[in-house]
Every structure is written in C-alpha cells, then in structure tokens.
Amino acid sequence: MEKVKVSVPVMSDLFARGEKPEYLFWVGSAGAFDDRYKKVTREFVKILHHFNVSYAVLGTEESDSGDVARRAGNEMLFQMQALMNIELFKMYGVKKILTCCPHDYNTFRNEYPDFGFLAEVVHHSQFLAGLLANSKFQIPNSKQIQNPKSKIQNEFNIQHSKFNITFHDPCYLGRANGEYDAPRKVLSALGTSMIEMKRSKSFALCCGAGGGQMFKEAEQGNKEVFIERIEDVIASGANVVATACPFCMVMMTDGIKYKNKEEEIKNYDIAELVSMALGL
C-alpha cells in the first residue's frame, strides 16, 4: 500500500507569507519524540488534511508546555516555559490551540490564563467529535464501500465488528476538565462494540503516569498502578483499549506487555482508529 504523504505547514513559513491558520497544532514532546506516539501524530495530521483543516505547527520553535515541571515541583521552570511560549503565541496571534495531549490541554486552558494568555484550547477528541456533530465525519461501513481507498480501510471494515473497544479516561481530560463524552462519541461513530470498564469516567483509575510519576522510581506498594488499570481492561473482555493521551498510551502498552496479552489486546489512540476507518 502506498503511504499517504502530507506536507505539514509551519507557523513561521505562513507568517512570513502573511497567512494565519485557524489552529496552532501543538504536537507535544511525546508526539514529536516518542516513537509510538509519533505514529498518532502522523495519523491525526492525515485527518486534518483529509478535512482541509486550517492549521500549522511551530516546528523547531515548539518547546514544552511546562506541565511536568510544575507537577514535579519546579515552579520556576514551569513559569519560564509558560512565559516563553506565551510570547511566541502572541507574536503569531494564536487564538486556537489543538493538541492530542490532555496534559498540555489542561495547562494551556487552565493555567496559562494566570499569565495573561487566553485562547480556545481543543483536545483532539473534542475536535473529532465536533466534526461528527457537523456531519463532516462519516465512517462508511463495508456495505457502503464499493472501491475501498486502501487495504487498511477494507480490512478495518471487514473486522471492525470484531473490535470490542473499551476507553481509558485520561485524568487531565476527564476529572480535571469534565470531558467524558467526546471520545466516546468518536468511538461510537466507528460502528464497533463499546464496553465500559467497571471503573470509568469520573471513577476511572489513573494510568499511573500523571503528575510526573512516569519519570520517577516507583514508590512503596504491592502493585504498580498501570498493572491495576490493565487488569480492569482485561476484566472488561475488550480486545482493544482506546486511549487519548500519550502518557496513557505508554502505560497501557506496558501493562499489556507485562500481562503477556500482546496477541489478545491492542492499544490504539482514537485518532489511529479514525484514520484506519477512513483509509488514510
């Protein structure tokens, strides 16, 4: 199958031509450097191009939101990052920020206003749900497809009925910002079976990576949090655990490997599932 090639617009290039995109797509550290989550970034960019969304990335000008620094207690580093980013945002006239990371979403939405920056911040689950609400987002089923765009799309529509998906709620999307419906609306649009874990939505268990925990040694206890959470996934009977956060993806993937369930359970970001269904 021929890979889809897209040219990602860079904010500085558009700015030099006097153009201004509707969205700044904040890629995030994981989206730029983590091998697994770079795949999510690529699939989401394909979706943006598929729907002709006006966006741009900062490229080498993008730094870090400062979320982990603040959670880990380095307030000075956080404020340095925030002020540096805000100056950049203001220079480019950024009014809308689109991101796949709930941690960055929470930081831009709830913490940057304290430093004088206000913008509409959209998580990619909300963005995809918005496309659905505007009737732009339609996943054709296998009966509707006469000439599948790709082998992947055909394969997805043949076996999507076998997908039993459960969604793991990211803490900074769910409990921190009250967003539970958007990712579920997107997954429901795929035509797959949805299964809720016993602990879900506001009662969902953390993946174990938030608050800077992913970057430090485990504390005393008889079980890692990610193991407890992947046991919830296994108990649900789902064969796909969908995530919408780079931290959660790392922890769920580690849990699947720890339990030797790589053949039985797959972990996909919601953007990957949408991209597969659209045959991008």
Q: What is the pLDDT of residue 136?
A: 64
Question: For residues 101 and 109, what is the distance between their CA atoms, to the nearest angstrom?
Answer: 12
Tell me the pLDDT tens digit for each residue of 141-192: 534 433 444 444 445 554 555 678 999 999 999 999 999 999 999 998 887 8
Instruction: Flag whether pLDDT at 256 surpasses 90.
Output: yes
pTM higher than the cut 0.85: yes
Question: For residues 106 and 65, what is the distance between their CA atoms, to the nearest angstrom?
Answer: 10
Token pair of 167 as six digits: 């969604």
Tell me the pLDDT tens digit for each residue of 187-217: 988 878 899 999 999 999 999 887 777 777 7
Token pair of 32 as six digits: 């730029």
The pLDDT of 45-72, averaged and rounded, is: 95
Percent of the chain with pLDDT over 70: 89
Burial class (CB in 10 A: 0-12, 13-18, 19+), 92: middle
Question: For residues 30 and 40, what is the distance between their CA atoms, to the nearest angstrom?
Answer: 10
- The values of phi and psi at residue 180, to 5°, are -120, -25
Question: For residues 248 and 77, what is the distance between their CA atoms, to the nearest angstrom?
Answer: 24
Question: For residues 243 and 179, what is the distance between their CA atoms, to the nearest angstrom?
Answer: 14
Q: Are 71 and 139 in contact (CB under 8 A)?
A: no
Q: What is the pLDDT of residue 71?
A: 93
In three-state secondary structure terms, 210 is coil
Question: For residues 170 and 246, what is the distance between their CA atoms, to the nearest angstrom?
Answer: 10
Instruction: Report long-range pairs for 147-151 (Cβ below 8 Å, ≥24 apart).
Output: 148/279, 149/278, 149/279, 149/280, 150/1, 150/279, 150/280, 151/1
